[in-house]
Chains A and B, each alone.
Chain A
């Protein structure tokens, strides 16, 4: 009796926390000023919210192993694929010159990317030492 109530409270906490993080991610997606900052909001908060909701599902069907396995698989997929997809989209957006926020202070990648081959050049200091190494 007591444990049922406690488990119910625990599931409710996970549920509301997950939904709250989902809402924060959606709000950040709408309100943040440019593409990298929007990615920053959705990737982390969205994956965390989905993971917390799946933990709530796994707790509700505690004895059922298949449900727990499915919930764990969904958490792994969300956490594994989210950062990779965000990196790819942010990189592609940087290449086609999506405008940055007007309050951006520093763009460290500016001038470092070869836009034809889409490869990143080393910073000046590093490439200099690498060139000098064969001589010495």
Chain B
């Protein structure tokens, strides 16, 4: 029963990865791509959770913890770059 749920979880997470990747490629602006990157990091944390459930190896949880924090730092850096240094086309 749990094996079947884990199989479903892997399939759905894979489809979500493809959807996020489409948004990352399509854009259309830099903030949209930053949002997609942040979602990608959250999805990787989810992947690590499902892998921990399926294999029983708990070592990757440390990676998930660091990844959650690093994604936040990356988002803050990108937001600062966009706000202070980017080109502007407001009315």
Residue from B22, B29, B61, B78 whose CB has the most chain A CB atoms within 10 Å:
B61
In the complex where A19-B8, A46-B42 touch, is A29 in contact with B76 (Cβ < 8 A)? Answer: no
Please give the distance in Å from B66's CB to the nearest CB on chain A: 9
- List B contacts of A73 (CB < 8 A): 65
CA distance A18 to B69 in the complex (A): 20
- List B contacts of A115 (CB < 8 A): 88, 90
A-side residues, CB < 8 A to B, are: 5, 8-9, 11-12, 15-16, 18-20, 22-23, 25-27, 29-30, 35, 38-39, 42, 46-47, 49-50, 53-54, 56-57, 60-61, 64, 66-67, 70-71, 73-74, 77-78, 81-82, 84-86, 88-93, 95-98, 115, 118
B-side residues, CB < 8 A to A, are: 1-2, 5-6, 8-9, 12-13, 15-17, 19-20, 22-23, 29, 31-32, 34-36, 38-39, 42-43, 45-46, 49-50, 52-53, 58, 61-62, 64-65, 68-69, 71-72, 75-76, 78-80, 82-83, 86-91
A-B contact pairs, 24 of them (CB 8 A): A9-B1, A12-B1, A19-B50, A25-B16, A30-B20, A30-B23, A35-B29, A38-B23, A47-B42, A57-B61, A60-B52, A81-B68, A85-B71, A85-B75, A85-B76, A89-B78, A89-B79, A89-B82, A91-B83, A92-B82, A97-B88, A97-B89, A97-B90, A115-B90
